[in-house]
Chain A
Amino acid sequence: MILTLAYGAILLSLASACFALLQTRFTAMVFLLLGLSGALAIAAGIGELLDQTVLVDNLKLGLPWQTWKIRFDGLSAFFFLIIGIAVFAVSFYAPHYTHNEQKNPASFAVLSLFTGLFIAGMMLVLLADDAFMFMIAWELMSVASYFLVAFQHENSANRRAAFLYLLMAEVGALLIILAFGVVASFADGFTFDALRASQISTTWMSIAFVLALMGFGMKAGLVPIHVWLPEAHPVAPSHISALMSGVMLKVALYGLIRFCFDLLPEVHWQWGVVLLIVGTVSALSGILYAMMQQNLKRLLAYSSVENIGIIVMVLGLSMIFLANNHKELAALGLLAALFHAFNHALFKNLLFLGAGMIHHQTHELNIDMLGGLIKRMPKTSVIFLIGCMSISSLPLFNGFVSEWLAFQTALQVGVLDNGVLRSLIPVSAAALALTAALAAACFVKVFGLIFLGVPRSRHAEKAQEIKSFGMLAAPAMLAGLCFFFGIFPSVMLDFLGGVTNHILDAALPQTSVLTPLWLAPVSMQQASYSPLLILVSVLITALILFFVLHGKGATKARIAPTWDCGFGALSPRMQYTSSAFTMPLRRIFATVFLIDEKVEKTMRENTKLNVADVRYSLHIQDHSWVHVYQPIERGVNRVAKQVGRIQTGNIRTYIGYSLATLILLLWVVSL
């Protein structure tokens, strides 16, 4: 029954893709099918999470001797739920958002076709139970999303971004195939069951782990192999970036978790250390780069790098505990990581949809050109504010709960025997604290400069609230979920307890309490958090304050012009801009960035003091471009040139090559 729902979700998204090809006038049908697909995926996910029995099936598709093995367990169901929520929200949002594309049937057909294929691909990845099917679904997801990134291909920068994305996706896929191949060579077959039973040596297992980490990490956006993210996310339509950032990165994490925790027969603490370090570096550099961005969607893309980093870091913790035989703490770590993945899917989806709304109304994504939207788009601003508060991990919102759980996991380090680990983990916990604090600074900048203050451009000044119900309802629903899971995290944590139990074969610590009222991951005596009680006390305190100060005797506030220090005429240009806001941090963390800052002054009448005109330009580049990518690119070019030498263009030489190859092969065969 549950599996039928899951199949239904996939078929409906494929149906939506096919329907788009018909190019009829009923474009609403495309989104209706997509919405139903999302709803079915949610139902399938929740059903399986409640039930927690492993469902297997064998579809007679694909090659005759290699049929598709299907397996739907708690972990798949959890990620299925994430996809379902995102697709459901997007199906409400997209009809109005894409109304310009709908005028051109051909381009709309392309967009919807690949959206449907992309979603179906992601869902199939989660259902796959053998490496073949996994890779086919993975490629469907990657290639379909390439076409979505390249959708606005009129612009050459977009084509370049899309090509970079495709390149990284394919190199990543190659590494994943190799990782599967390494394990499969010690196993009998490519099914996941065979891989689980493989008799693989520790060395080869470590090689497989590194390959998988690089392959899945490339898709998920771990530093330093994250560069496609900030290029590809801004150029795709916003609802697609929401799906890519909110969901596709999670599918990559699913792959990593499935491969490391489920398929490989055992884990080693050294791998955990690798994940911990890679995650910490990704989290910190992700948020620092995010802070420096002016383009809202680029900023959000870098912030995804940060959040994926946090998740990988907590996975590393979990792995360290697992390898040291503290299974209950490993379960806690995995729980925290999965919950953060869920939360990130919610608020990142919300923020990308919000970015789309801002772009739709102002045709502007540059933070420095916006401002004052809180008065012009009041509903959007409240929704976006909730997203910003969740991602800044403020108490009462969902992002806080998962970071709190991550801290609690890290603080259990005392049980470990290894002194190096015991000092390394607190340092990464402090890095997590720094990341969270920087994220708050970053999203103060985002919300403050976009929605508050005075408009910095005519577009922002003329902006109007969104009229379409669906376009507001989708992010509003996500905002509601962010708040709901911030107050009642136990709803999701209960589900996740079952998932970790199944994957790690270990339950949470026996004394842990995860009820709607209390959260105490280890025991009630050690640490507890009660979002509901805090919410109630916030409401009571705020009400008392309000009635005391706003009661009958209170004077009404007077509205007056802003104080201008007596100089007169404040202008919007006097406000802090994005680069001004982040200047102190840019200076403090100067070594993290490649900063190219220029101030050009033109002087009046050849004097030294009388400045006529100042031009300021700031360009910040990612270290990994210059130090990882460009050397690789140069190397590839050099090798290609060397190889090019044997291509003389002379047909007789080529015949000679063929003959030589033939003789060589004959010799090999005769051995």
Chain B
Amino acid sequence: MNWTIAIFQTVLFVALAPLLAGFLKFCKCRLQNRRSPSFSQPYRDLLKLTRKQPVISQDASWLFCVAPYIIFTMMILAATVIPLIAVDMPTSESADVIVLVGFFAFARFFLALAGLDIGTAFGGMGSSREMTISSLAEPAMLMAVFTITMTASNTDLSGAIHHILNEGATLHPSFVFALFALILVAVAETGRIPVDNPTTHLELTMIHEAMILEYSGRHLALIEWASQLKLMLYGVLIANLFFPWGIAQSFTIGALSFALVALVLKLIVLSVFLALAETVVAKMRLFRVQEYLGFAYLLGLLGMLSHIILESTR
């Protein structure tokens, strides 16, 4: 039973990811006075891509073809770890939040290698920038997450969520810092404005798109889907770690469906905020990103220190 729900939750995660991307696009279009494509457009795009014949560069090696599968697999594994609608899944015990960061690192490692594989300037550029940004984002993310896990003295996400639920709605100053740090990191890691622009193909600004420029067909579909999934993973992580209320603590139909409704509402709020931010803020120069991520790290550090100084019982 538990395993069925765990698998169902993962499938739900993977299935809903394009919808979130579609909704985000809808919000952005409306904010920018444009007409939006329907919510199902990302699904249609993915379907179209899987049907098309992939074209592979003659300089590419086996790694180029294997990488999309590895990236997508790692994202699915990450989806098994993050509680979506219920906590205490049997799958979430197999990995804690540090392993989760490890899954992202694994996917990124292969994405960056795939960018270098075809031997073009674009691929190398994307890989170099991606590895630079992520190596600055990773410590900031861990710092933010450690603040939560130290409060809960638990690096399992389920355990941390339990702790917050049991404690009730008390305001921790450290959580506020950690929340902002994690949001900044999430924006950088999922390649959104102001760090990267998912809709651009301009060489001065491209990061993620530069790496996947040579992909086509089903390979591209997997990578696109993986990045939609990554966006959703970060969204759910923020939503359920900082605002866990509503998540199912028992596996009854009622609790689960209530959790689903709560989750949808949380994600709607988050995506409206993200769309708003993307509309208001301009993309920044590549060499401003370290200041941005340095700020995120500083917030994480402040969160940690305020936890240690203000909140811990000793």
Contacts and interface: CB of A to CB of B under 8 A. Distances in A.
A25 B102 CA distance: 51
A582 interface: yes
Contacts of A588: 132, 136, 287, 290
A528 B139 contact: no
Nearest to A558: B55
B102 A541 contact: no
A575 interface: yes
Interface residues of A, number: 80
A426 B301 CA distance: 8
26 contacts: A372-B119, A374-B63, A374-B117, A395-B103, A396-B106, A419-B308, A426-B304, A430-B146, A436-B105, A441-B131, A441-B132, A453-B118, A453-B119, A527-B154, A528-B94, A529-B95, A533-B94, A542-B73, A560-B57, A560-B58, A561-B57, A562-B214, A580-B128, A581-B124, A581-B128, A584-B128
A562 B59 contact: yes
Contact of A444 (B109, B149, B159, B222): B109
A528 B98 CA distance: 10
B309 interface: yes
Contact of B129 (A413, A430, A584): A584
A433 B139 contact: yes
Interface of B: 50-59, 61-63, 65, 69-70, 72-74, 76-77, 80, 91, 93-96, 98-99, 101-103, 105-106, 108-109, 112-113, 115-121, 123-125, 127-129, 131-132, 134-139, 142-143, 146, 149-150, 153-156, 159, 213-214, 217-218, 222, 286-287, 290, 297, 300-301, 304-305, 308-309, 312, 314
B218 A554 contact: yes
Given A448-B113, A542-B70, 11 more contacts: A375-B61, A400-B99, A400-B102, A433-B138, A440-B131, A541-B76, A559-B57, A562-B118, A576-B125, A576-B127, A584-B129
B92 to A, nearest CB: 10
A608 B132 CA distance: 35
Contacts of A537: 77, 80, 91, 94
Contacts of B129: 584
A427 interface: yes
A583 B290 CA distance: 13
B305 A423 contact: yes
Interface of A: 371-372, 374-375, 389, 392-396, 400, 404, 407-408, 411, 413-414, 417, 419, 422-423, 426-427, 429-431, 433-434, 436-438, 440-441, 444-445, 447-449, 452-454, 524-530, 533-534, 537-538, 541-542, 545-546, 549, 554-563, 570, 572, 574-576, 580-585, 587-588
A527 B97 CA distance: 9
A417 B312 CA distance: 11
Given A404-B98, A441-B132, A542-B73, A575 B61 contact: no
Contact of B132 (A426, A431, A585): A585
Contacts of B120: 562-563, 570, 574-575
A392 B137 CA distance: 16
A576 B63 contact: no
A433 B56 CA distance: 35
B131 to A, nearest CB: 4
B50 A528 contact: no
Contacts of A395: 95, 99, 102-103, 106
Given A374-B63, A562-B58, A392 B287 contact: no
A549 B61 CA distance: 19
Contacts of A555: 51-54, 217
A537 B10 CA distance: 12
Contacts of A587: 287
Given A389-B109, A407-B98, A426-B304, A414 B312 contact: yes
A435 to B, nearest CB: 9
Contacts of B51: 555
Most buried by A among B63, B98, B118, B121: B98
B156 A557 contact: no
B198 to A, nearest CB: 20
A546 B287 contact: no
B153 A414 contact: yes
Given A526-B155, A562-B119, A431 B128 contact: no
Most buried by B among A389, A441, A545, A581: A441
A329 B53 CA distance: 56
A546 B119 CA distance: 26
Contact of B116 (A427, A449, A554): A449
A413 B94 CA distance: 23
Nearest to A557: B54
